[in-house]
């Protein structure tokens, strides 16, 4: 199997990046992490790119300039798939059209519920019984594209937000790898 070339976009901790890298070491996993882009020079996740000798670039430039630099890198490196993993920057319609159908994201809620920020707090405050995470295609609206996979986590009564977040993150690692496998399952 010829593996697809993925680029992971991060802004922070990078635990999803780490998990995707670990999965990609399986010869059966459909992608290799070929490149990492961070818009934040202090992102802890950059450490994982270094640790696994994955080429990476920190692009501190703002919107248009960021995207111009990123698009050139992605084209030069023949990237097939962009995985957003804790990437805290909104991509323009122009960028998304350039990589139509090739950008996926992980969001910490059961979409279409709780798009945007503070998803755990909102789920707890509104007394939801379940929350979780969703991997979805990225389209021009925020947290809106076609859903690839979801994982559910039960909310206990009096649940602590930090603990809940941790439980959901564990499910995120599974969800992201399932979603990537699913994308290429019939190719
Ligand atoms: C994850 O919870 C993800 O759902 C959200 O940002 C967080 C990133 O965590 N989009 P990490 O940087 O992968 O540890």
Expressed in angstroms and rounded, the spacing between residue 19 Cα and the centre of ligand 1 is 11
Which residue has the CA at smallest separation from atom 5 of ligand 1? Answer: 86
Average per-residue pLDDT in the chain? 97
| Per-residue confidence band for 102, with pLDDT thresholds at 50, 70 and 90 | very high
Residues with CB under 6 A from ligand 1: 10, 12-16, 45, 85-86, 106-108, 133, 169, 172
What share of the chain in percent tops pLDDT 90? Answer: 97
Q: What average pLDDT does range 42-56 have in this prediction?
A: 98
126, with CB counted inside 10 A (0-12, 13-18, 19+), is exposed
Q: Is the pLDDT of residue 187 over 90?
A: no
Reading the block at residue 46, the tokens are 């950059």
Tell me: pLDDT of 98 over 90.
Answer: yes
Question: Is the confidence at residue 63, as pLDDT, over 90?
Answer: no
Query: Across the beta sheet with 130-137, what order do the strands follow?
Result: 56-58, 31-38, 4-10, 81-84, 103-107, 130-137, 147-154
Cα 92 to ligand 1 centre (Å): 20
Sign, Cα dihedral of 97, 102, 107, 109? positive
* Active-site annotation holds for 107: yes
Looking at residue 148, its pLDDT comes to 98
Counting from 1 in the atom list of ligand 1, the atom nearest the Cα of 19 is 13
Catalytic residue among 56, 107, 136, 137: 107
């Amino acid at each position: 199997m010829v593996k697809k070339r993925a680029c992971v976009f991060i802004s922070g901790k990078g635990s999803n990046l780490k998990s995707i890298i670990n999965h990609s070491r399986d010869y059966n996993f459909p992608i290799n992490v070929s490149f990492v882009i961070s818009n934040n020079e202090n992102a802890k996740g950059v450490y994982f790119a270094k640790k696994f000798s994955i080429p990476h670039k920190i692009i501190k430039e703002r919107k248009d300039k960021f995207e111009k630099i990123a698009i050139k890198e992605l084209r030069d490196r023949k990237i097939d798939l962009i995985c957003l993993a804790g990437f805290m920057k909104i991509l323009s319609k122009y960028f998304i059209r350039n990589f139509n159908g090739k950008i996926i994201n992980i969001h910490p809620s059961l979409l279409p519920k709780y798009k945007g920020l503070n998803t755990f707090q909102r789920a707890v405050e509104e007394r939801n019984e379940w929350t979780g995470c969703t991997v979805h295609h990225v389209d021009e609206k925020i947290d809106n594209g076609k859903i690839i996979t979801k994982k559910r986590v039960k909310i206990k009564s009096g649940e602590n937000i930090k603990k809940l977040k941790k439980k959901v993150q564990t499910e995120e690692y599974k969800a992201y790898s399932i979603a990537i496998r699913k994308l290429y399952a019939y190719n």
